[in-house]
Amino acid sequence: SYLLLGNLANFFLDELIFAQQPDEVSFDETFLKSFRQSPFEYTSCRDIATDEDFRDFMRKARTQFENIKRVITEDFPRRGINLHQCTLEPSFFSERYGFQGRLDLLHINKKAYEIVELKSGKLPYPAYDTGKIALNHEVQTGVYRLMTESVFDVPSRRVEAAILYSSGSIPGTNLRFAAGFQQLEKEIINVRNLIIANEHAIINGNNQTVAQLFQALYDTTGTAQKSATFYTQRIEQFKSVLQQCTPMELSYFYRYIRFVSQELYLQKTGDVEYESPAGVASLWNSDFTERAEALDVLYGLSIESIDDSGNDMKIVFRRNHAGNDVVNFREGEICIVYPRQDEQDTVLNRQILKGALAAISREFVEVRFRNKQRNRTFFNENPLWAIEHDALDTSYNSMYKSLFDFLNAEKQQRDLLLGLRAPQAPAIPENKLPYPESIIRKAMAAEDYFLIIGPPGTGKTSIFARRLIEEFYAKENGNMLVLAYTNRAVDELCEAINAAFGCKDENSCNYIRVGSELSCAEAYQDRLLQNISEKASNRESLRTTIRKTRIVVSTLASING
C-alpha cells in the first residue's frame, strides 16, 4: 500500500499544479479520479482489502493531499514559485555526467532553476528535526543538480533542489532545500563509475565474472551498518536461493544475466558495428542529419492545438518540412519531444517531454502525454519542435526479476524450462482432422506448453490464437491471460477475440484490456480496465466484474507493471 500511496501523492501534486484554482480542489473528487485511472491497483492491493484497512488508507491519503495542497497554496508563493512557470515531470539527458532522469517538478525563472522532488514516506529520523533530509534523498537532489547544471549550462549557484515531504503535518516544514556539496557530488560520480565498471565486467566477462561480482555483493553484508537490516536480509535471502541451485541452473542464471545485460547495453549504446544510428546514445553520438536520413526523426513541427480536457494532454503538430514526409514511426510508439529551432538545439541542452505517438498522417502528428502542463510559456516560446524515438529499461528490469523467479520455482518446473524434462502431452488419435484443427487439437491436449512458430502472415493470431481462445473459453473452468510484446499485437489479439465471439459492442465482449489509452486503438478502449471501472459503483462491484471476466489481454510490459 505504501507504493500505491506514493503514486497517489504524485497524482495529487500533478492535479493541484495543473488546477486553475488549487485551493478549490477537493480530496474526494481527486481521489475518485485516481481510482478510475488505476482501478486494478486499488481493487487488488491486499493491504487495503478490508473496509477498515481501506478507511485507514483513505485517512493517510487525505493527510497527504492536505499537506501537498498547503505547500502549493502557501509555501510555493512564499518561495516565489509561480505555478504558471512550473513543468511537471520534465526529462533530461546529461552527456557530461552520463545521467538521464525525470524530475517531479521544475520551476524556471530569470534567477534560478528550482527542482522539487516529492516523497510520501516517513519523515527522516529524527522527525523533530524539521530541516533534516534523508541521505538517499540528498543524493537524488545531487544527481538532479548536476544534470540540470549541465543541460542548461548554468553555474551551481543558480540551481536549487528541494524535497517535499508530504507526510509532515507541521506547516512550513514540508519543503526542505538541500545544499550542494562538492564531496557528495564526487561520491555520486564515483558510484556511477563503479556501476559502469560492473556492467562492462558482466558484458565482457564470463559466468565466473558474474559469480565473483555476486560474491563481492555478499561480502558487503559484513561491513554494512547495523541499522541496515533490510539490506542484509535481502542479500542473505538472495544468497540462500543461489546456494540451493544445481551447477546447471547457476550456469543458466549467470549466462542469461550476461545476455540481458548485453541487450540493455546495446539498447543504450547501439551496435558499434552497425552503420546506421541505433541505441539511445545515438541521440547525441550521431549527427541529427544522419538520424533524419535514417528516417528516425520528425522535425520542423509546429503546434497546431493542445487539448488537456481529458485525463491526459494531447498535442497535434503540423508537419511543415517537405523533405521529412517519409519516417520510421508507428502509432503507439513511445517518443521524446523537444524544441528545436535550429542546429544548436539538441536533446542534450533542451527540456524533453515523453509521450506516445497517437496518430500520424502526411499533414499532422498527434502525441499524447501522461502529464498535463499548466506552463504554456514553454510551448509558446518555441515555435518549432522535433520528435525522436524513445526506449525504456523497465522490460529489462523485469527480465532480471524473472530470472530470479525461475530459481525460486519448483524443481520440476525448472527442469522443464531447462529441457531436462520433456513437455507432457497425451497421445492424440490419428483421425486425420483437417488443417488447422489437427494442430488445435494437439495444442489443447498439451499439459505443459505448446509452441506454434511461423513467419508473419501464417495465421498465428487470426487463426490459431482465435481458435485456441474459443476452445479454452468453452471449457468454463479456467481463466486466460493473453499476452504479446507490442501494443499493435495486442490490438490484433483484441480483434481476434471480437471475431471469435462476434463482439459488435462493449456489452457483447467479455474481456479486459490492461494498459492505457495512450497505446490502445480506439476500437478497443472501451475494454480498458480503467474505463470498465468507471461503471463500477464501488470496489466490490469492480472485483465481481474482474472475477467474472475470464479473458485478460495485455502487453508483457503492462502486466508486469
Confidence (pLDDT) at 276 = 52
Q: Are strands 105-108 and 113-119 parallel, antiparallel or unpaired?
A: antiparallel
Q: Could you tell me which residues are beta bridge partners of residue 165?
A: 119
Query: How many domains does one find in the chain?
Result: 4
pLDDT tens digits for range 529-546: 888 887 777 888 888 888
How far apart are the C-alpha atoms of 143 and 146, rounded to whole Å?
Answer: 5
Who has greater pLDDT, 310 or 277?
310
CA distance 497 to 488: 14
Cell of 371: 502529464
Residue 248 has pLDDT above 60, yes or no: yes
CA 161 to CA 180: how far, in whole Å?
Answer: 9
pLDDT category at 26 given cuts 50, 70, 90 is very high
Per-residue confidence (pLDDT) for residue 239, from 0 to 100 = 93
SS (H, E, C) 446-461: CCCCCCCCCCCCCCHH
Considering the domain architecture, whether residues 290 and 385 belong to the same structural domain is answered as yes
Does residue 428 carry a pLDDT above 90? no
Distance separating alpha carbons of residues 554 and 497, to the nearest angstrom? 13
pLDDT tens-digit series, residues 321-362: 888 889 999 887 889 999 999 999 999 999 999 998 988 999
User: What are the counts of helices (DSSP H) followed by strands (DSSP E) for the chain?
Assistant: 21, 16
pLDDT value of position 318: 96
Where does the pLDDT of residue 55 fall: very low under 50, low under 70, confident under 90, or very high at 90 and above? very high
- Tell me the pLDDT band of 275, cut-offs 50, 70 and 90: low
pLDDT of residue 504: 61
* DSSP annotation string for 124-181: PSSTT-TT---HHHHHHHHHHHHHHHHHHT--GGGEEEEEEETT--STT-SEEEEPP-
Please check whether residue 226 lies inside any domain of the structure: yes
Chain-centre distance of CA 400, in angstroms? 16
6-15, 138-147, 343-352, 469-478: least confidently modelled range: 469-478
Beta partners for 352?
91
Residues 190 and 339 occupy one common structural domain: no
The secondary structure of residue 465, as a DSSP letter, is I
User: Are residues 208 and 67 part of one domain?
Assistant: no
Which of 40-54, 67-81, 107-121, 508-522 is the least confident region?
Answer: 508-522
Residues 192-203: pLDDT tens digits?
999 999 999 999
pLDDT (average), residues 168-173: 91
Same-domain status, 533 and 553: yes
pLDDT at 187 over 80: yes
* Boundary-marking domain end, from 269, 293, 324: 269
- Coil, strand, or helix at residue 525? helix
Contact 206, 251 (CB under 8 A): no
Q: Which three cell numbers stand for residue 244?
A: 540451493
- Within its chain, how far is the Cα of 540 from the centroid? 28
Residue 371 has pLDDT above 70, yes or no: yes
- As to burial, measured by CB atoms within 10 angstroms (0-12 exposed, 13-18 middle, 19+ buried), residue 67 is buried
As a whole number of angstroms, the distance between CA 243 and CA 250 comes to: 9
Co-location of 498 and 544 in the same domain: yes
Residue 360's domain comprises 282-389
Q: Judge whether residue 425 has pLDDT over 60.
A: yes
Rounded to whole angstroms, the maximal C-alpha distance in the chain is: 82
As given in the structure block, the three cell numbers for residue 226 are 547495523
Residue 56 scores a pLDDT above 60: yes
Pair (221, 296) in one structural domain? no
- 102-116, 122-136, 511-525: which range is least confident on average? 511-525
Name the phi and psi angles at 115, rounded to 5: -105, 135
CB 86 within 8 A of CB 30: no
Helix (H) / strand (E) element for 51: namely helix 51-70
C-alpha cell at 215: 560474491
pLDDT at residue 165, as a whole number:
96
Q: Is 80 helix (H, G, I), strand (E, B) or coil?
A: coil
Domain boundary among 180, 203, 238: 180
Asked if residue 227 is part of any domain, the answer here is: yes
> Does 394 fall in a domain?
no
Extract the C-alpha cell encoding 230.
533490510
CATH code of 318's domain: 2.40.30.270
* Dihedral pair phi/psi, residue 87, rounded to 5°: -120, 130
Q: Please check whether residues 520 and 537 belong to one and the same domain.
A: yes
340 shares its domain with 254: no
Same domain (yes/no): 319, 221: no
C-alpha cell at 530: 480503467
Q: What is the pTM of this model?
A: 0.83
Q: With respect to residue 422, please indicate whether it lies within any of the assigned structural domains.
A: no
Percent of the chain with pLDDT over 90: 55
pLDDT computed for residue 9 by the predictor = 95
CA dihedral 448, 452, 453, 456 (to 10 degrees): -140
Assess if residue 308 is contained within a domain.
yes
Q: Domain for residue 402, yes or no?
A: no
Check: CB of residue 359 under 8 Å from CB of residue 366: yes
Query: Which CATH number characterizes residue 137's domain?
Result: 3.90.320.10
CA distance 445 to 440: 9
pLDDT given for residue 221 in this prediction? 85
* pLDDT in the model for residue 508: 55
What pLDDT sits at residue 430?
Answer: 65
Alpha-carbon gap, residue 84 to 375, rounded angstroms: 5
Is 489 contained in some domain? yes
Residues 214, 174: one domain? no
Is residue 409 assigned to a domain? no
Among residues 269, 290, 317, the one where a domain terminates is: 269
Does 17 have pLDDT greater than 70? yes
Do 11 and 72 sit in the same domain of this protein? Answer: yes
Work out the mean pLDDT of the chain and round it to a whole number. 89
Same domain, 216 and 286: no
